[in-house]
Each structure stands twice: as structure tokens, then as C-alpha cells.
Amino acid sequence: MNRTRTRFAPSPTGYMHIGNLRTALFEYLIAKHDNGDFLLRIEDTDQAREVEGATDIIYDTLKSVGMNWDEGPDIGGDFGPYIQSERLPMYRGYADQLIELGKAHYCFCTEETLEQQRQEQGDSFVFKDPCKDLSKEEIQAKLDANTPYVIRQTIDHVGKQEYDDQVYGHIEVDGDLLDEQILIKSDGFPTYNFANVIDDHQMEISHVVRGNEYLSSTPKYNLLYDAYGWQRPTYVHVPPVMKDEHHKLSKRNGDASFQDLVAKGYLPEAIINYIALLGWSPDNDQEIFSLQELVKAFDVHRISKRPAIFDIDKLTWMNSEYIKAMDPEAFYEKVLPYLHKALTKDFDLHYIANLIQSRIDRFDQEEISEKIDFLDELPADYDLEMYRHKRQKSTKEKSVVSLKAAYEALAQLDDWNEKTLEDTMMALPAQLEVKNSVIFWPIRTALSGKRATPGGAIEIAYLLGKEESLRRIQVGIDRLEKDLATA
Ligand code: GLU
């Protein structure tokens, strides 16, 4: 049996589309599941689309998710070069060989000839090339006269072309529907349609994995493999990644690329985990997978034909699970710049990091600032209605009593730490003969001015320190008393 070898063959467009990354991931998993090779090939023959620095984005993306390649432009390998533009001279030789075999021909047709056929045939346009009937002499005369030309695949429009796809099953295409596609363009460059066959054969690719938009072109590629007498690869066509039922996810329409998601605070490993489940599922209900676990579990036969819908909420949930599972020190290192931006005063940042690790979905400045900026500055004029809480059995009147008792007790504390704060605060409910919540709810409210906070009264008091905690409790008392007096 052939060694399993797959390749990721992106065009350098300047960003990593989520659908492309998902294809790359499936290629990687197929290869690694079999202890095979995963190759990187840059398809840059469409020079018009070239974007500066685009290859680095491809390298950086794959590296950041741990999808290391075994052969590629930067590290070489036995089947290089791995950049198509560096392979140019070779394609022409293969095209000439096809002409010899009668499976390709020169085409001198002008745009007008094509347009005429397009008009005659309407929507189901399949180009049938009159040039394939030119005699040797006619061809030579045109070449001698420097008439511009392309080289096209010669197709007998008879019978059916068939193959088996690992995902879509048996595929049959009517020979009559196969157009005589261009193999070598007038600028001498190969088309994707030609280069992919030559390269995949030369690089000994066993499994060609790509989007299902190639399902109907594959019979033409197969005819090329057959013409050279080469073994056809195994095909794994994958369904598209959709934004919703009707629209493909598309960077051009403003949908997020991998880079955009990282910039929005998603972790590369969470993104990879999530996209593995776009169109693939394990045979149990496990959802959280490391790359190594995916390699182990991956099975081509469990790739679905159904288009997968990209659900940002699901990704966000998964990201929060990854954040929770981070080593606390690694989390601290990563969140530190966000904490510095969110806070101007001096705080125990390790302590804050611990408090928020299980409470953020993303590494996003806005989200993080929103959670902790009350520490810097008590929100002015926060809503006093917060002190009234049915479930916490709290009223404004009771809150004043609780806050006064808390102020008195805390003012006597010299040693301000979590333990002393807890002892002091926990003594208050018994002293006032009320439930815990009647004390803790108003204190937390006075200290934060917020409905929801990371951590409770004790943690916040610890972070704020004695002076600021007492000041905020006093603000609460004053505001409540004023409010009750005017009610
Ligand atoms: N360069 C092609 C693309 O980006 C690759 C398709 C393939 O994997 O063969 O669509």
C-alpha cells in the first residue's frame, strides 16, 4: 500500500480562510492518523492574486495551531520545489507529452469564438474546441506566425466518467459535460487544473482532500492521470463551511478569517478543536479534543456530506472551556497586558487573574475591562435599586443596617487579608440575626456598584484595600440614607 501523504495547497491570498484551515486540518489528520506525511505546497501561479507577506501568514497560522508540515517551501523535502512558480519549466514538458499522446492540443481561439459558443449554448455552456481538428501544418503555420495560443485538454465527449469519493461516494459525470479546459495559459503558466495533477502525482500524494466545488472537475483530472498512466489518488471532497443555510463563509463578505478570530481573543487550539467538528464527528459525544487526540480519533468515513454551519457561540463556549483549563500561570501571563490596560491603580494582579479565569470567554479588552474596571473607579451614581433584591431578601433599609455594621467591624481590622475579612464578615449575620445574603449582597453592591462581579464581597474588599473599601461602604450608606429620606 502507498504511504499516506496529503498536502495543503493554499494560494497566497493574505489571510487564512476558516474553510481552508478546516481543509488543511483534515489533510493533516488523515496523514498523521496513518503516521504519514503532511506537505505544504504554495499555489502561486495566479500571479494577479498574489499578496505580499501572504506565505508567512500561511506558515504562522499552521505553526500557531501545531500543524507542522513534513515537507514544504521553507524546509524542503525530496519532492521540491514546493512553490508552484518555481516548478514552471516542468509543466510545459508534461503538456508537450500530452500533446504527443493526443490528450491535449494547441488552441488559437479568440475570445469571440468562445463568446459565440457561450451564446449558442446558453447556461449549460461546455466549450468544445474547434482547434483540436487543426492539421499539423495549420498548427505549425500559426505558431510560426506567433499567433497567441493556449494548450487545452482534449476530451472525447462520450460515455461517462466515474470515480469513488471517500465522502460523496460514487460520482458519475457525463463525458459530454466536460469542457476542454486550459492546461497552459497564453502567458505560459499552467492553470490550477493542470498543475494540481502534475504536482500531486510528482509529490506522491495518496489522498487529495479539497472542497466539494472540485467534485465535478475531478473526472477531467482523472483523464489526465489515465493519459500518463499514473495511479489516481484517493479523493476526499469536503463540504463547505457555511455562515448560514444559504451562504458560504467568505472572507470577501466580511466573515472572520483565522487571524480575525485570534485578534478577537480566541485561542488557536480552541479554533482548531472547533473547526474539526465542522463536518466531522467522533463516534462518541466527546467535544473537547487536543490536536493529538484528533489525530487518534480521526476517521475519514465520519466526514459528513452535509454543509457545516459556523456557529460563533459554540466556538465562544469552547474557547471559554480552553481558558478555564489553562495553567493559571500561563493564563496570568497572557491576561496581564489586558489587566494593565483595564486598570490604572495598583492591584494584586495575580489575584484578579485567578478571579476572572473562569469568567471570561475571550481575551478581549472590552470584555475584560468591563468585568474589572469597577476596581479602579466606583461607578458614579450606580442604581440604588440593586440594593433591593427579593431573592437575597435585601431591602434598602436592611442594606443601610448591614453596611453600617460592616463598616464598624471592618474599620477595626488592622490586618487586611482574605482570612481576617472572612472571619469579620462571617460574624456579622449572627450578630444581626439575619441570613448571610442580607449582609453580603449589600456589601458587594457598595464595593462594586455592579450587579455582577468576578468574586464576592470578601474578594473585592481584599483587592480594594481597607481605605477604599470603607470609603465605598460609606458612599453606599450616604446615598441610601439620602434616598430613603426623600422617598
Ligand atoms: N490552491 C487551491 C485552492 O486554494 C487548492 C485546491 C486543492 O487543494 O487542490 O483552492
* pLDDT tens, position by position, 286-334: 999 999 999 999 999 999 999 999 999 999 999 999 999 999 999 999 9
Out of 220, 251, 371, 450, pick the active-site residue: 251
Does residue 49 have a pLDDT over 80? no
**371 or 255, greater pLDDT:** 371
List the helix and strand counts (H, then E) for the chain. 19, 11
Does residue 404 have a pLDDT over 70? yes
DSSP strand pairing (104-107 vs 150-153): antiparallel
Mean pLDDT on 129-151: 95
* Poorest-pLDDT segment among 287-301, 332-346, 386-400, 436-450: 386-400
- Assess contact for 307 and 242: CB atoms under 8 A: yes
**206 or 46, greater pLDDT:** 206
pLDDT band at 47 (very low <50, low <70, confident <90, very high): low
What digits encode the pLDDT tens for the residues 141-178? Answer: 999 999 999 999 999 888 999 999 999 999 999 998 99
Kindly state the DSSP code that residue 2 receives in the 8-state scheme: P
Ligand 1 centroid from CA 407, angstroms: 68
Mean pLDDT on 177-190: 93
Residue 132 to residue 445: CA distance in whole angstroms: 83
Residue 84 to residue 191: CA distance in whole angstroms: 11
Residue 461 to residue 289: CA distance in whole angstroms: 39
Ligand 1 centroid from CA 33, angstroms: 22
Ligand 1 centroid from CA 343, angstroms: 46
Q: Which atom of ligand 1 is nearest to the CA of 196?
A: 9
- Assess contact for 378 and 475: CB atoms under 8 A: yes
CA angle 280, 314, 246 (to 5 degrees): 70
Residue 7 to residue 358: CA distance in whole angstroms: 38
Secondary element (H or E) of residue 91: helix 88-100
3-class DSSP state of 173:
strand
Count of other CB atoms within 10 angstroms of residue 417:
9
Residue 48 is predicted with a pLDDT of 63
Q: What is the residue with the minimal CA distance to atom 5 of ligand 1? A: 9
Q: Which atom of ligand 1 is nearest to the CA of 13?
A: 4
pLDDT band at 1 (very low <50, low <70, confident <90, very high): low
Residue 450 to residue 445: CA distance in whole angstroms: 6
Ligand 1 cavity residues, CB under 6 Å: 9-11, 43, 192, 196, 210
CA angle 12, 75, 17 (to 5 degrees): 25
- Catalytic site residue 251? yes
Residue 462 to residue 347: CA distance in whole angstroms: 10
Q: Which atom of ligand 1 is nearest to the CA of 209?
A: 8
What is the rounded average pLDDT for all residues in the chain? 94
Ligand 1 centroid from CA 14, angstroms: 15
Which residue out of 5, 17, 43, 58 has the highest number of ligand 1 atoms within 8 Å of its CB and is therefore the one to mutate? 43
Give the whole-number percent of the chain exceeding pLDDT 70: 99
Q: What is the residue with the minimal CA distance to atom 4 of ligand 1? A: 10
Count of other CB atoms within 10 angstroms of residue 124:
7
The answer to whether the Cα torsion of 161, 167, 168, 170 is positive or negative is positive
Does residue 251 have a pLDDT over 80? no
Residue 111 phi/psi, 5° resolution? -55, -35
3-class DSSP state of 150:
strand
Which set of grid coordinates corresponds to residue 26? 483534515
Residue 115 to residue 167: CA distance in whole angstroms: 36
Nearest to 343, CA basis, from 367, 366, 372, 365: 372
Ligand 1 centroid from CA 206, angstroms: 16
Does residue 199 have a pLDDT over 90? yes
